[in-house]
């Protein structure tokens, strides 16, 4: 067949890139919040090289192209309720758990432990997000399980193990275990107080007070885990409320629990991960926390998962940015590289600002979770967890659409990375509390007392005088923040939450980032000209912002 054309003016796959070395801003954030420890930077550099390798990126593509498969019965008709995964999924789970993304702050506590883990999680977010779901839930459940004196001896060491062992087996026969959760039901969604699943006490056994659970869960993630925390009504017909229960896949006697997987969710994205609908047919479960206090018990887990939603969304942004930047540096149009054209520079520089600001906000949030957090940090955590989760996750789909557009039609194909990244982009905003739920949580945190508003103001006052646009925005917003009951009702909660997110990002950049970055962010986000569309304002330092955003080794 004759040659009819030559392939030229195309970019190349962005593979075998050290994701940590390519991102100086992440290096600076780790230094700012966890100290300038050479061992930490060496470890993160090693992880950055591993997650950016061609092999690992190939596993991510394979795991998403080959979705999990549910097997409810074996060939003889026995109920098994097992999920089969492509080998690439297990390779990725091994990476995440062997590197301690599920447990390192609990297994090796110390100054900055949460920040160091957050940086590694941010890097993994640029690789594969489906694996982050069971990794996050295992991470989030550890503090709760650690307080259960009868469950912890068997389960806590396996939760903390930096290892991975798939398959259904008794906890005593596994080197490491994972945990998931089940809260939402079809009639309630985020309104878990309306759950109808019931649990009846049957006595006391080796893992504490035991119950038989009957009911269902509409979104049960992830069904291949070894155990779960669920909510159920333990005193039906009363107003006692929901109770948190520990639900293992395999019972103490080695038999399988009566957890019936009805189907796997056919999701828009997150396709490597299995999410399911389940029925509990007299399943065995054990009490966690106090009767009727399940929502407050499981919310501790929820706060850690919200941290990871923020980190994961920032990681997805970063992945989209690097793909767009790499393409623009190699692709030419109208006689110039895309990256040399003024309007494209405005887009790429704005994407760079958005990504870096998301990273700084998520890493600052992680700092509030460290075990040496003082009263200021704890107050900041209460308000910043929902605010950061809302703002970073809400910006991600818009960000990803703009980054994909940089590649044009080449980005809108399944062979490239953007199909997966774009499908992933809305998930973190929906999971663990949608946008409205987060904004209402912000209102509640501010209404409980002055501590949260004072904590925010202390952060912002520290950079007053460094940028005129920031000072003006702070002066305008401070009365609303300090008197939320009078100046902000539920209908205005999104506006208040967005302002908190923007001011916090601006303050972090003013304190820690180069002047060109901070001033560009304040000028583009805090003035009346900003409309939220990326690339709509000319940025005087566009080339510097682009050069900082992605350091490519030649």
First-to-last alpha carbon distance for the chain, in angstroms, is 36
| Cis? peptide before 222, omega within 30° of 0 | yes
The per-residue pLDDT for range 152-163, each reduced to its tens digit, is 999 999 999 999
Q: Give the C-alpha separation, 130 to 388, whole Å.
A: 21
Burial 338-359 (b: 16+ CB within 10 A, else e): bbebeebbbbbbbbbbbbbbbb
Is 309 in the same domain as 248? no
Q: What are phi and psi of 278, to 5 degrees?
A: -135, 155
Do the beta carbons of residue 335 and residue 146 sit within 8 Å?
A: no
Does residue 194 carry a pLDDT above 60? Answer: yes
pLDDT for position 488: 61
Burial 399-415 (b: 16+ CB within 10 A, else e): bbebbbebbeeebeeee
353 compared with 7, residue with greater pLDDT: 353
Is 353 in the same domain as 472? yes
pLDDT for position 554: 52
* Interval 117-136 mean pLDDT: 97
Q: Give the C-alpha separation, 520 to 347, whole Å.
A: 13
Does 168 reside within a domain?
no
The per-residue pLDDT for range 346-372, each reduced to its tens digit, is 999 999 999 999 999 999 999 999 988
Alpha-carbon radius of gyration of the chain: 24
Residue percentage of the chain with pLDDT more than 70: 98
Task: Give me the number of domains the chain comprises.
Answer: 3
pLDDT for position 486: 43
Q: How many helices and strands in the chain, by DSSP H and E?
A: 20, 11
Does residue 200 carry a pLDDT above 60? Answer: yes
* Interval 315-321 mean pLDDT: 98
| 113-124 and 24-34 helices, crossing angle to 10° | 160
Does residue 483 carry a pLDDT above 80? Answer: no
pLDDT for position 359: 98
The per-residue pLDDT for range 372-395, each reduced to its tens digit, is 889 999 999 999 999 999 999 999
Last residue of some domain: 133, 160, 187?
Answer: 160
Does 116 reside within a domain?
yes
Q: Give the C-alpha separation, 23 to 38, whole Å.
A: 16
Is 311 in the same domain as 289? no
Beta bridge partners of 203: 210
Does 370 reside within a domain?
yes
Instruction: Name the nearest CA neighbour of 164 among 178, 152, 153.
Output: 178
The DSSP letter of residue 194 is G
Q: Give the C-alpha separation, 544 to 548, whole Å.
A: 6
Does 368 reside within a domain?
yes
How would you classify the pairing of strands 227-233 and 179-182? parallel
Is 288 in the same domain as 302? no
Does residue 76 carry a pLDDT above 60? Answer: yes
How would you classify the pairing of strands 242-248 and 227-233? antiparallel
Last residue of some domain: 130, 160, 190?
Answer: 160
Domain that holds residue 226: 178-293
The per-residue pLDDT for range 201-254, each reduced to its tens digit, is 999 999 999 999 999 999 998 999 999 999 999 987 676 789 999 999 999 999
Do the beta carbons of residue 272 and residue 224 sit within 8 Å?
A: no
Element at 283 (helix H, strand E): strand 275-288
What pTM was estimated for this model as a whole?
0.96
Confidence label for 1 from pLDDT (cuts 50, 70 and 90): low
Last residue of some domain: 293, 317, 333?
Answer: 293
Can you tell me whether residue 550 is helix, strand or coil? coil
Tell me the CATH number at 500. 1.20.140.10
* Interval 479-505 mean pLDDT: 85
Confidence label for 136 from pLDDT (cuts 50, 70 and 90): very high
Is 260 in the same domain as 365? no
Q: Give the C-alpha separation, 388 to 433, whole Å.
A: 12
* Interval 174-187 mean pLDDT: 93
Is 310 in the same domain as 452? yes
Confidence label for 537 from pLDDT (cuts 50, 70 and 90): confident
The per-residue pLDDT for range 398-415, each reduced to its tens digit, is 999 999 999 999 999 999
Do the beta carbons of residue 375 and residue 41 sit within 8 Å?
A: no
Is 391 in the same domain as 325? yes
Is 359 in the same domain as 469? yes
Report the mean per-residue pLDDT for the chain. 94
DSSP assignments along 389-445, one per residue: HHHHHHHHHHHHHHHHHHTGGGTSSTTSSHHHHHHHTTHHHHTTS-HHHHHHHHHHH
Can you tell me whether residue 247 is helix, strand or coil? strand
Does 169 reside within a domain?
no
Q: Give the C-alpha separation, 192 to 229, whole Å.
A: 14
Q: Give the C-alpha separation, 443 to 216, whole Å.
A: 32
Does 16 reside within a domain?
no
Is 458 in the same domain as 424? yes
Does residue 327 carry a pLDDT above 80? Answer: yes
Tell me the CATH number at 199. 2.40.110.20
pLDDT for position 184: 87
Residue percentage of the chain with pLDDT more than 90: 86
Is 270 in the same domain as 343? no
Does 5 reside within a domain?
no
Q: Give the C-alpha separation, 263 to 275, whole Å.
A: 9
Cβ neighbours of 321 (radius 10 Å)? 27
């Amino acid at each position: 067949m004759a040659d009819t054309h030559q392939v030229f003016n195309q970019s190349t796959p962005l593979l075998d890139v050290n994701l940590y070395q390519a991102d100086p801003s992440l290096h600076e954030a780790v230094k700012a919040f966890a100290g300038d420890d050479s061992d930490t930077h060496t470890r993160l550099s090693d992880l950055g090289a591993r997650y950016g390798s061609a092999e690992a990126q190939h596993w991510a593509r394979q795991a998403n192209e080959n979705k999990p498969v549910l097997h409810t019965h074996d060939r003889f008709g026995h109920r098994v309720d097992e999920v089969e995964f492509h080998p690439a999924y297990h390779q990725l789970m091994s990476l995440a758990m062997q590197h301690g993304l599920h447990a390192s702050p609990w297994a090796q506590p110390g100054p900055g432990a949460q920040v160091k883990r957050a940086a590694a999680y941010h890097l993994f977010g640029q690789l594969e997000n489906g694996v982050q779901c069971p990794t996050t839930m295992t991470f989030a459940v550890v503090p709760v399980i650690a307080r259960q004196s009868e469950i912890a001896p068997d389960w806590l060491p396996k939760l903390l193990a930096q290892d991975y062992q798939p398959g259904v087996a008794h906890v005593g026969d596994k080197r490491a275990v994972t945990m998931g959760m089940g809260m939402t039901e079809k009639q309630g969604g985020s309104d878990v107080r309306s759950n109808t699943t019931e649990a009846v006490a049957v006595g006391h056994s080796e893992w504490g007070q035991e119950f038989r659970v009957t009911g269902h869960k509409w979104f049960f993630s992830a069904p291949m885990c070894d155990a779960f925390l669920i909510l159920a009504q333990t005193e039906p017909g009363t107003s006692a409320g929901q109770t948190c229960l520990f639900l293992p896949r395999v019972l103490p006697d080695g038999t399988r629990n009566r957890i019936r997987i009805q189907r796997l969710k056919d999701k828009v994205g997150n396709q490597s991960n299995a999410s399911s609908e389940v029925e509990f047919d007299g399943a065995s479960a054990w009490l966690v926390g106090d009767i009727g206090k399940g929502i407050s018990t499981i919310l501790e887990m929820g706060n850690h998962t919200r941290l990871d939603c923020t980190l994961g969304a920032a990681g997805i942004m970063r992945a989209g940015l690097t793909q767009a930047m790499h393409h623009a540096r190699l692709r030419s149009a109208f006689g110039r590289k895309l990256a040399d054209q003024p309007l494209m520079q405005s887009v790429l520089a704005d994407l760079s600002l958005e990504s870096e600001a998301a990273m700084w906000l998520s890493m600052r949030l992680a700092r509030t979770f460290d075990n040496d957090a003082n009263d200021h940090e704890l107050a900041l955590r209460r308000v910043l967890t929902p605010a950061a989760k809302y703002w970073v996750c809400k910006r991600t789909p818009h960000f990803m659409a703009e980054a994909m557009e940089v590649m044009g039609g080449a980005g809108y194909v399944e062979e490239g990375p953007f199909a997966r990244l774009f499908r992933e982009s809305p998930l973190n905003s929906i999971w663990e509390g949608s946008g409205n739920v987060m904004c209402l949580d912000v209102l509640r945190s501010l209404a409980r007392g002055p501590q949260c508003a004072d904590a925010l103001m202390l952060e912002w006052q520290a950079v007053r005088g460094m940028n005129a646009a920031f000072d003006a925005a702070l002066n305008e917003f401070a009365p609303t923040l300090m008197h939320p009951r009078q100046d902000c009702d539920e209908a205005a909660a999104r506006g208040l939450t967005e302002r908190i997110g923007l001011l916090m990002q601006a303050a972090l950049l003013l304190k820690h980032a180069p002047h060109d970055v901070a001033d560009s962010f304040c000028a583009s986000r805090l003035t009346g000209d900003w409309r939220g569309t990326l690339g709509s304002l000319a940025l005087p330092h566009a080339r510097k912002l682009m050069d900082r955003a992605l350091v490519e080794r030649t």
